[in-house]
Amino acid sequence: MKLVSWNVAGYRACLKKGFQDFFEEVDADIFCLQEVKATEEQIDYKPDGYICYRNIAERKGYSGTIVYTKVEPLSVSYGMGIENHDHEGRMITLEFSDFYLINSYVPNVKRTLERLDYRMQWEDDFKEYVNSLRKKKIVIVCGDFNVAHTEIDIKNAKANRGNAGFTDEEREKFQVLLDSGFIDTFRYQHPDEADWYTWWSYMKGVRERNIGWRIDYFIISKEGKDKIKNTFIYKEVFGSDHCPIGLEVYDK
C-alpha cells in the first residue's frame, strides 16, 4: 500500500501547478494534504476511484486538511476531540482494518514564537491522542510537523537554532513523541543521509541550491516497523514550497 503526504500551501494554487499530474502519476492508495486553505465549495478535484474526506478550518483561507483514499475506512474522525485544538482543520484520523492513519498539520509557532506555548500544549495533547489509538492497533501519522528534528534535517543548523521550526522546545517535543513509541520512517531507512529536505523558502535560488528543511514526516508506532517497505521524498515535484513525501507499507 502506498501513502503520500503533501503540504500543498494552497489547494487551488497547487492544482494550477501540476498537482493533478503528480496525483495521477504516483497513483497512491491514500493521499493526504495539509494547508489546503480552501472552502468546501473550492475542493472540486474528484479523482475516480477515491473517497474524499475534508477538515476545513473555521477561518476562511487558513489551514485545513484533506484525505483522498481508494480504501474505504472503517471510521473517520476529525480533530482530537479537544475544543481548543479543533477549529483549525488540522487533523483527520482514518481507521483501517490493521492500522490508524492520522493526517496532521501541526501548528506553526510563527516567526516571533508567539504560538510556542500553544504549540507545546498541542504536542502534549497530540502525543496522548496518538498513544491512546496505539493501544488498539498500529498508528501511522503523516503531515507537516513544522519542525526539523535534528541538525541533519536542516541545511544551516547553527544559524537557525532558536528560529521557528528549529527551537530546542519544538525539537525536544518531537523527540518525546518518538520516545513514546514511534519511528521516523525516513530516518529508519536512511539514518545518516544528509541533504534530504521537504521545505524550502520562496527566496530566490534557495530551492535550486537545496537550502532546505525536512519538516514533513511519516512516523509509525514501533509495533508496525516491519510494515515499512519504502520511504520517498519527491524533491523533484514542485507546486508548493513543500515537496510530497511517501511511505510504502506491506499489506497484512
Distance CA 178, CA 175 (A): 5
* Residue pointed to by grid coordinates 486553505: 37
**Catalytic status, residue 144:** yes
* Residue pointed to by grid coordinates 543521509: 193
CB within 8 A of 218, min separation 6: which ones?
3, 5, 140, 141, 142, 185, 186, 231, 245, 246, 247
Q: Which of 105, 129, 197, 217 is catalytic?
A: 105
Distance CA 70, CA 63 (A): 24
CB within 8 A of 204, min separation 6: which ones?
none
**Catalytic status, residue 100:** no
Q: Which of 144, 153, 184, 216 is catalytic?
A: 144
Residue type, 196: W
19 DSSP assignment? H
Beta strands in the chain (DSSP E): 2-7, 30-34, 51-55, 65-69, 75-78, 91-95, 99-105, 138-144, 182-184, 199-200, 212-213, 216-221, 228-233, 245-249
Give catalytic residues, as residue numbers: 105, 144
